[in-house]
Amino acid sequence: MDAAPNLEVLIFDSSAYTRSLLLERLARLANCALHAHATWTDKPLEKLLANTSVLLLNHHATDAPPFDFLRQIKRTVPHCLVVVVSSPGAPRRALQALHTEQPCIDMLFDKPIDLERLSEFLTERMASLRQQHKLNSEHLNLLRFLPTGALRRIFAQPTPGSAELFDMTVMFTDIRDSTQLIVRESARAYFANLNRVLASQAELIRRYDGMVVKTTGDGLLAVFEGAARCHLALKCASAIQHSAEAKSTPVGIGISDGLVLTGILGTAQHFHFDVIGAHVHLAARLCSKAAAGEILATQDVASKARFEFASQPLQDAIEVRGFNQTVPCIHIKV
């Protein structure tokens, strides 16, 4: 079962007496952390409100008008639920007018208040906020599985077997001599190290606007889209080879560019995004030939990249099914 997130409730009340009453009564609310202050004027508001889900202001007629404060809250933390308790009459009318002019109060209670009603209201709204937080978190997690850029339109109709052709740069990475590493370390330690290396690569791929399609055992398959895709892929490959993780766990990288079929494979119960095609095979082949710390790419990728780097032609002829003749490739020095 998911643990309910702990929501922070911030109380502002200039009277120590009523502040303590509110703290006492609201302490019964489940899964929330209460914080109370006499005033907001001597505190850095952004820091104070950073984790606040609910703000409760018990406004006294003798307090300074809270108008700027309430406006600032909605500007700083628009998701924060703002509840104000005020005396009826002039104070309430002033707050009501402010809210009409610029909505900044989610609920206005008249004093004296029925604390049962206030507690019920807060309980209900906090349950709704928790549900919203949970959905946001799930949404963010789901986005991590989804393709980026133009590829995302495939998910408008996620039908297994549907596919589209895209011009893409395909990059494979693979840890060199992983068998020796597995033998040398415990399986658990190897797995943790593998995750660290792949996470670092994935971070760099995202930084260079690429997308991780999948992990491939000891490496990753990633694609880059757009006019600068070859340039970005080579810069990314270079960054991966220069990373601290690659120094301790060397990898080989293969890169190719061309038309790739992208789509969804699987059944209605389980499916995943994938890319297939001759250039995927070619990039995989180049990756398998790349030594530790090496980047092998097609000459085509290097020409399109407009990227200043030292390279030398690859002596071995690379033959891949789907290509009529051998593909000129280069070895990039990083």
Partner 1 sequence: MKNQFSDAQLSHIIDQSLIYQCACPAQVAKHLIGLRELYEYQQNCINQTATDKAVHQRIAADTLRAHGALEECLYEVLFLEEWDMATLTMPASLQKTPRNF
Closest separation in Å from C-beta 203 to partner 1? 46
Which pairs count as long-range contacts for 68-76, CB under 8 Å and 24+ apart, including other chains?
Answer: 69/40, 69/45, 70/98, 70/104, 70/105, 71/98, 71/102, 71/104, 72/45, 73/45, 73/49, 73/104, 74/102, 74/103, 74/104, 76/45, 76/46, 76/49
Choose which of 1, 2, 3, 17 interacts with partner 1 (CB under 8 A): 17
Task: Provide, rounded to whole angstroms, the least separation between the CB of residue 136 and partner 1.
Answer: 34
Under the binding rule (CB under 8 A), the answer on residue 119 touching partner 1 is: no
* CA distance readout (Å), 86 to 44, 110, 200: 24, 5, 53
Min. distance of Cβ 15 from partner 1 in angstroms? 7
User: Does position 115 bind partner 1 by CB under 8 A?
Assistant: yes
Q: Closest separation between CB of residue 44 and partner 1, Å?
A: 26
Q: Which residue has the tokens 């889900």?
A: 53
State the nearest-atom distance from the C-beta of 115 to partner 1, in Å: 5
**Closer residue to partner 1 in complex, CB, 59/331:** 59
Question: Residue 8: left if φ>0, alpha if ψ -120 to 50, beta else—which one?
Answer: beta
- Residues 56, 12: contact at Cβ < 8 Å? yes
Binding mask 74-103 for partner 1 (x = CB under 8 A): -----------x-xxxxx------------
- The answer to the question of residue 26 lying near partner 1 (CB under 8 A) is no
According to CB under 8 A, which one of 2, 112, 244, 315 is a site residue for partner 1? 112
- By CB under 8 A, name the binding residues for partner 1: 15, 17-18, 20-25, 27, 58, 60-62, 85, 87-91, 110-115
